[in-house]
Structure 1
Amino acid sequence: METIKYIERASGELRTENVPSEGMLKWLYSTGSGKVALNLLFKRKIVSDLGGWYMNTKLSAKRIPEFVNEHKINLNECQISDVAKFETFNSFFYRKLQKNARPIEENIVSPADGKILAFQTINDVSAFFVKGSEFTLTSFLRKHELAKKYEDGAMAIIRLAPADYHRFHFPASGKVSASKAINGHYFSVSPLALQGSLKIFCENYREYCILSNQDYGDILISDVGATMVGSIIQTYTANSEIEKGDEKGYFAFGGSTLVLLFEKGKVNFDEDLLSNTKKGFETTIRMGEQIAFAKFK
């Protein structure tokens, strides 16, 4: 497997990602024995449940200082800046930020911190992933009519690494539906795993809701679980009016992903995100940064 490179949005600099548990992931996703172990054990919910259980124990809190130092996490932007005040690793992992830590910009914004891929049409996906053709909306949503609604539409994938802020928010204002769950496994969504196939998104446990906005149409927001993500917690009120930037929920420990789907002809992604994606690179993004705008603007 190759190293993972991404583009820092602010500077345009090409960087190499530090992938946690890189050796283990390379073994699981690129060797015969690893793939056997992956399918027999690591993809199963019980493994993620056990990991989640440990991260909710007081013993796990001992890992926090090392994690902060290794990933250079800025504690000054957190509501709680003293690591000693977190009783468990998970309570630190889905920590809250101070109110103004993530300014909300114009138009459609990123729902989370992470690294983003932007595709103006679903057909562009196969050009990025080695086996992207295995990804279909029908297999992802498991509803033919819903998949038809977003056919030839735009799609964004926001990948959260373990070191990222793990609460996610709404990318626009509007009325939001209840979340619906789609059962699945718990494969890693690390870039080392996704190099093999985007089909992982069609196999992992996920939830989705629809955010209706007058300018942007019906935005489908899907929260995708992964290895060691013990749970996806929704904190919003279903069937309510929400404001852009309002909290939607959070992931427990592990890397995770958000997928945004837009109806055909409704939005344009920012040009730098499209350009970087076409070159084969993700782009760093922070919650609240603009990622797209209405097509008629």
Structure 2
Amino acid sequence: MKLTALRRFFQQEDLNFLLTNRVPRILLTRLTGRFSRIENRWLARVSIAVWRLFTDLDLSEAKQQRFDSLHDCFTRELVEGARPITTDPDVLISPCDAIVGACGEVAGTRVFQAKGFPYEIGELFGPTQDATPFHDGVYVTLRLTSAMYHRFHAPHDGRIEHVTYLSGDTWNVNPIALARVERLFCRNERAVLRLRLARGGHQLAIVPVAAILVASLRLHFLDVLLHLRYRGPNEMPCDTAVAKGKELGWFEHGSTIIVFAPRGFLLAEGIGSGTHIRMGQPLMRMPAVR
């Protein structure tokens, strides 16, 4: 009962916004990154115990149960078969465990991070990326909480053709901040992954967005760690084949992934704001291949 009351206290909107945004966000994020990598099993165990006071952290599906550092726990792998992959070839799967945020049709070039808070996909993608394939398309915002599985995977078979890295701030990306900070996703550190689907040749854009305490992104196919001190190159052409469900990388804590698809794609049945979804479950349905 006391634990529930403690969580409710820190979840009050004004207090939550103050504690997670009106602080030196970038400095705190860098310090947290350093602390999380300290390899000491006793320190890791105590840190995880404190973490559990504020979240519903569940490690029952983790491949390992003892962690050398907090970072190892954040980026944990799951046991084989913990996330079954939907095999229907017409379905794009969710790349991660998440809570669905704003989603639906792109209104020309405009989407929403929260009610009354629009942003332009061109600004999100950055000045070097062509966002026109996604005009009037479909998008889904996927928010990873700090307790969730933080690795993300390919939504379908295809090839990663390009990555653009955009440095930025580390605002919290929870619903409280999204309803208060205009164009938040366009302000934060992020990457734009362009995926060409093997089926139909359609393009997808997968946009991982960093947040406070989580400004590091590992992409396996580039063998590079993107973080606040990263100084380029910002444009990273690549040509990497990926299979549906293949692991692409991970966040160092919890954050957001926004998936964009062209016109003609549809949200999978049951997908809407507030939906809890796991990696491998249906996210979108592809148009018929002609």
Using structure 2 for the length normalisation, give the TM-score.
0.80
Matched, 1:132 2:117: yes
Aligned to 1:11: none
Aligned to 2:185: 201
Kindly provide the CA deviation profile for residues 79-113 of structure 1, in whole angstroms up to 9, marking residues without a partner as x: 11x2xx20111111110001210000031000000
* Aligned residues of 2:133 and 2:203 also touching (Cα < 8 A): no
Q: Distance in 2 between matches of 1:69 and 1:38?
A: 21
Relative to total residues, which structure has the larger strand share, 1 or 2?
Answer: 2
Aligned to 1:292: 284
Q: How many residues align?
A: 260
Matched, 1:22 2:47: no
Kindly provide the CA deviation profile for residues 184-214 of structure 1, in whole angstroms up to 9, marking residues without a partner as x: 1000011111122461100000011111113
Q: Distance in 2 between matches of 1:185 and 1:240?
A: 29
Q: Structure 2: which amino acid aligns with 1:245?
A: G
- 1:292 is displaced (CA, Å) by 1.2
Map residues 130-279 of structure 1 onto 2, 5 A cutoff.
Answer: 130-133=115-118, 135-143=119-127, 146-197=130-181, 199-213=183-197, 214-215=199-200, 217-237=202-222, 238-253=238-253, 255-265=254-264, 267-273=265-271, 276-277=272-273
In structure 1, the residue corresponding to 2:183 is in which secondary structure? helix
Aligned to 1:42: 24
- 1:26 is displaced (CA, Å) by 2.6
* Aligned residues of 1:108 and 1:293 also touching (Cα < 8 A): yes
Instruction: Report the RMSD for the aligned CA atoms in angstroms.
Output: 2.7
In structure 2, the residue corresponding to 1:100 is in which secondary structure? coil
Q: Distance in 1 between matches of 2:29 and 2:60?
A: 30
Q: Distance in 2 between matches of 1:70 and 1:184?
A: 27
- 1:47 is displaced (CA, Å) by 2.1
Q: Distance in 2 between matches of 1:115 and 1:50?
A: 27
Q: Distance in 1 between matches of 2:10 and 2:221?
A: 32
- 1:119 is displaced (CA, Å) by 3.1
Map residues 32-71 of structure 1 onto 2, 5 A cutoff.
Answer: 34=18, 38=21, 41-43=23-25, 45-57=26-38, 58=40, 59-68=43-52, 71=55
Aligned to 1:6: none
* Aligned residues of 2:102 and 2:112 also touching (Cα < 8 A): no
Q: Summarize the Cα distance change of 1:137–1:19 in structure 2 as closer, same or farther, 3 Å threshold.
A: farther
* Aligned residues of 1:131 and 1:196 also touching (Cα < 8 A): no
Q: Distance in 1 between matches of 2:281 and 2:128?
A: 32
Kindly provide the CA deviation profile for residues 130-156 of structure 1, in whole angstroms up to 9, marking residues without a partner as x: 3323x1112111237612221111001
Matched, 1:113 2:101: no
Q: Structure 2: which amino acid aligns with 1:260?
A: V
In structure 1, the residue corresponding to 2:49 is in which secondary structure? helix
* Aligned residues of 2:102 and 2:113 also touching (Cα < 8 A): no
Kindly provide the CA deviation profile for residues 252-273 of structure 1, in whole angstroms up to 9, marking residues without a partner as x: 13x30001111122x1112321
Kindly provide the CA deviation profile for residues 120-173 of structure 1, in whole angstroms up to 9, marking residues without a partner as x: 31129767723323x111211123761222111100111000010011111111
Aligned to 2:4: none
Using structure 1 for the length normalisation, give the TM-score.
0.78
Relative to total residues, which structure has the larger helix share, 1 or 2?
Answer: 1
Identical pairs, percent: 23
Bigger Cα displacement from structure 2, 206-215 vs 236-245: 236-245
